[in-house]
Chain A
Amino acid sequence: MNRTHVNCTVNGDDVDFLAADGISLLDALRDELGLTGSKEGCGTGDCGACSILIDGKLNCSCLVLAPEAEGAEIVTVEGIADGDHLHPLQQTFLEGAALQCGICTPGFLVAAKALLDTNPDPTETEIRYALAGNLCRCTGYDKIIRSVQEAAVQLREVAK
């Protein structure tokens, strides 16, 4: 398999890596860059556990080829906290018990951040549609939705 040299930024840092052309960006993030926050649940775009932001847009990294990342700005779950300060979504997920096994959590956090970045005051229905590409087999979703609502309130307070 051909290998391509890829330059991009991940969570604000310039990175470069060598990727086999057929591997997914998810595998490159996990195996080449050691960023194992993003998970592979399905590898077919159905579960959202691999969600990342590419140039600000929510994507399933399992459906992106690693060389496609050339020149892109990538944000993974590792990049959403501010140093030691958890992102409000991370804090409300913890406090609201929005996770059990946790494998879906990184994807939900990134997808919820993508939503709140563009829509700071979503309705419950909007949240449910925005997170429809993320599956959770443990929580039954309600605690996730409520945690996103709470984080949205906190983020709006901060923005005031």
Chain B
Amino acid sequence: MRYVAPTSVDEARSLLVDNPGSRVFAGATDLIPQIRAGRPQPSVMVDLKRIDRLTSVSHRDGGWAIGAATPTAALTANPEFATMFPGLSEASGLIGSDQIQNRSSWGGNVANASPAADSVPALVANDAQVVIASAGGTRTAAVDEIITGPGQTSLGDGEFIIEFTLADMAAGTSDAYLRIIPRTEMDIAVVGAGVRLTMDGPTVAAAKIVLGAVAPTAIRVGEAEAALVGNTLDEATLAEAAEAASAACNPINDKRGTIEYRRQVAGVLTKRCLLIAADRAQNGTA
């Protein structure tokens, strides 16, 4: 195995093309434990962190470009980002410990494609797009188009994510993310819920609801969104959205939770997230 740290996207692209079995990494917080657990060693480990664009965060012209290898600690510590995207910031900040936070990246969280990845529901709820380096140049895709199944992505051989782009949060709009884990810190989501709401006074003008850890990939709950739009968040509407969220789940039984538990918690978290996002959207978080 060889370690290489290219300093440009082009150099990284050539390394991947020239070296079959090579692999990009950012924090290696998924990759190294997987190799230690017996997954095949890459022929070349391509460290993306020395490419400036991969670790830079910029906000201009009504949007954000966030390097795919940026440690999540740099995002949660960025007041401008954390204020505009409180839910996405909280989701990113839930990944692991402080030690992990100084390494873990969105690029790794998305490309690792764990159904329980915390940043993913919040990224999808915020319509995050990715710019991908591919052999011919670059292409763009939505985050939910990248993840196709547990550990599976639509990224081709030699492709990697350069950066994430997000449009500024519109007026009257905010987000929230909540997860349930068996302890307070350092565990993998049993259920995660990401929500983005646009409020027109007390009425929901637009809604996006995305659940994690309850299906092979994060899922968008269109029925719950439809139940909300045009209504106020009264008990009946919240109950309808929660029921739709529970019904959309296709979870597994495992040591962290049963199918029944995951379904019920998905509804509860959806409801709680809606109330938090609505409050932020109406009262402003800035």
Contacts and interface: CB of A to CB of B under 8 A. Distances in A.
Interface of A: 1-2, 4, 21-22, 24, 43-46, 48, 51, 54, 57-60, 62-65, 67-68, 70, 111, 114-115, 129-130, 132-134
A63 B28 CA distance: 6
Contacts of A59: 99, 102-103
B94 to A, nearest CB: 11
Interface in B98-142: 98-100, 102-103
Interface string B31-62: 01100110001000101010000000000000
B57 to A, nearest CB: 16
The 9 closest A-B pairs by CB, nearest first: A133-B97, A132-B185, A21-B3, A44-B33, A2-B2, A67-B3, A57-B102, A22-B1, A133-B99
Residues of B in contact with A, size category? 20 to 34
Contacts of A65: 3, 28, 32, 45, 47
Contacts of B32: 24, 44-45, 62-63, 65
B125 to A, nearest CB: 25
A64 B99 contact: no
Contacts of A58: 98-99, 102
B29 A46 contact: no
B6 interface: no
Contacts, number: 84
B31 to A, nearest CB: 9
B88 to A, nearest CB: 20
8 contacts: A45-B33, A58-B99, A67-B3, A68-B5, A132-B97, A132-B98, A132-B185, A134-B97
A28 B100 CA distance: 20
Given A22-B1, A51-B99, A111-B98, A43 B47 contact: no
Contacts of A22: 1, 3, 41, 45
A45 B103 CA distance: 11
A125 B222 CA distance: 38
Contacts of A64: 28, 103
Contacts of B28: 63-65
B96 interface: yes
Contacts of A67: 3, 5
Contacts of A46: 186
A121 to B, nearest CB: 18
Contacts of A111: 98-99
Given A21-B45, A67-B5, 13 more contacts: A21-B2, A22-B1, A22-B3, A45-B99, A46-B186, A48-B99, A58-B98, A60-B99, A63-B29, A68-B5, A111-B98, A133-B97, A134-B97
Contacts of B33: 43-45, 63
A68 B98 CA distance: 19
